[in-house]
Amino acid sequence: MVVNLYSKKKDVTFSYCATYDVVVAVKGGRVTMFPASEVK
């Protein structure tokens, strides 16, 4: 399961994969969905 977590304080969105316990993408600003090319 992948979830996007947005930090208002730092204005950054993290894409987190709960299945493997890893962050798969990070981008400044609010992102609702990461493009496939940005996901590691």
pLDDT digits (tens, 9 = 90+) for 1-40: 888 889 999 899 999 988 888 888 888 888 877 777 777 6
Q: What is the pLDDT, as a whole number, of residue 40?
A: 67
For the chain, what are the domain ranges? 2-32
- Return all residues near 7 (Cβ < 8 A) that are at least 6 apart: 13, 14
15 burial level (CB within 10 Å; 0-12, 13-18, 19+) = buried
Q: What is the pLDDT, as a whole number, of residue 1?
A: 83
